């Protein structure tokens, strides 16, 4: 893929951690995980990704307003400023649109997605305990975890509800459990740092659909063991330079496919310095 963004040179100075999306990516294809996380290849910006960023920013700002001010009009008025903030941070996003009319059509789509939110919830009655919350912890096996949670609500009795906004298509019945992988990961984060949430909600804004999941302690402990086992497999791949490609239904949408031997590509040598950095994900 000619527009794949090459890794940035130089050492990595931040602490490595495992996120829900990267854990799932490794399960889907270890080589894809390696090229993204260990090597540092990045895929170009897309309109869908930018829309998700803008919508999340608008909904985060919405809950910064007084309850009576959380109206559809207030949310819609924040779409253009949110878009401009995204472009200021990542100028390449501004190049995704052919002309002004193309951009306006995309902004209208973002407003329509936000309108969909108001068909699902009444934000004037919600008092979030946290928005866009960065949560870090470690598993019982010492694996450092990281997640950014869209919204955490707290009931007067202390029960927690986790809400995650989705701007893509809602999953069919066969794929609901896969969609809940991220929510189990977030439940684990909060169980390790605060308390086990009472409810997890995936809110699909376009479809007007909400998928709920009420975690139980035994299930989340089993999921924690799964994460520890998964990291053990990653450690073995680091030690043996053995991140194998795994053909799967998402290969046609893979941004690093040009570097995959399954499709005639050549995988670059594994960068030793980055491998040593990634191995620090497990403490001790």
pLDDT at site 284:
75
Give the side-chain half-sphere CA count within 13 A for 170. Answer: 14
5 — pLDDT class (breaks 50, 70, 90) = confident
Residues 253, 266: Cα–Cα separation, whole Å: 18
> Domain locations in the chain?
47-123
Tell me the per-residue pLDDT of 145-196, one tens digit each, with 9 for 90 and over.
999 999 999 999 999 999 999 999 999 988 898 889 999 999 999 999 999 9
- Which pTM does this prediction carry? 0.94
4 — pLDDT class (breaks 50, 70, 90) = confident
- Range with the poorest average pLDDT among 113-122, 140-149, 249-258: 249-258
Tell me the per-residue pLDDT of 12-41, one tens digit each, with 9 for 90 and over.
889 999 999 999 999 999 999 999 999 999
User: Sign (positive/negative) of CA torsion 188, 177, 254, 56?
Assistant: negative
pLDDT at site 2:
46
- Measured between alpha carbons, how far is residue 1 from residues 4, 45, 47, 146 in Å? 6, 14, 18, 29
Tell me the per-residue pLDDT of 245-267, one tens digit each, with 9 for 90 and over.
999 999 999 999 999 999 999 99
Are 151 and 63 within 8 A, CB to CB? yes
């Amino acid at each position: 893929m000619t527009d794949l963004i090459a890794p940035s040179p130089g050492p990595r100075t931040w602490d490595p951690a495992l996120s829900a999306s990267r854990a799932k990516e490794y399960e889907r294809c270890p080589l894809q995980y390696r090229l993204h996380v260990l090597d540092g290849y990045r895929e170009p910006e897309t309109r869908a990704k930018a829309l998700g960023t803008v919508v999340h920013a608008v909904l985060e700002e919405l809950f910064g307003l007084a309850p009576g001010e959380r109206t559809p009009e207030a949310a819609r008025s924040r779409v253009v400023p949110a878009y401009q903030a995204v472009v200021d941070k990542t100028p390449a996003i501004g190049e995704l649109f052919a002309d002004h009319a193309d951009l306006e059509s995309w902004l209208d789509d973002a407003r329509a997605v936000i309108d969909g939110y108001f068909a699902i919830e009444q934000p004037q009655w919600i008092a979030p305990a946290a928005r866009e919350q960065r949560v870090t912890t470690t598993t019982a096996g010492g694996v450092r975890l990281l997640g950014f949670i869209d919204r955490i609500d707290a009931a007067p009795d202390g029960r927690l509800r986790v809400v995650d906004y989705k701007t893509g298509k809602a999953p069919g019945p066969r794929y609901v459990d896969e969609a809940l992988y991220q929510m189990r990961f977030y439940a684990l984060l909060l169980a390790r740092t605060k308390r086990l949430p009472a409810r997890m909600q995936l809110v699909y804004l376009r479809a007007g659909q909400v998928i709920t999941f009420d975690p139980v302690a035994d299930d989340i402990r089993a999921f924690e063991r799964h994460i520890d086992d998964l990291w053990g497999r990653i450690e073995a791949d680091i030690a043996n330079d053995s991140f194998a490609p795994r053909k799967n239904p998402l290969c046609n949408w893979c941004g690093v496919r040009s570097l995959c031997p399954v499709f005639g590509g050549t995988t670059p040598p594994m960068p030793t310095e980055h491998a040593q950095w990634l191995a620090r994900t497990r403490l001790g």
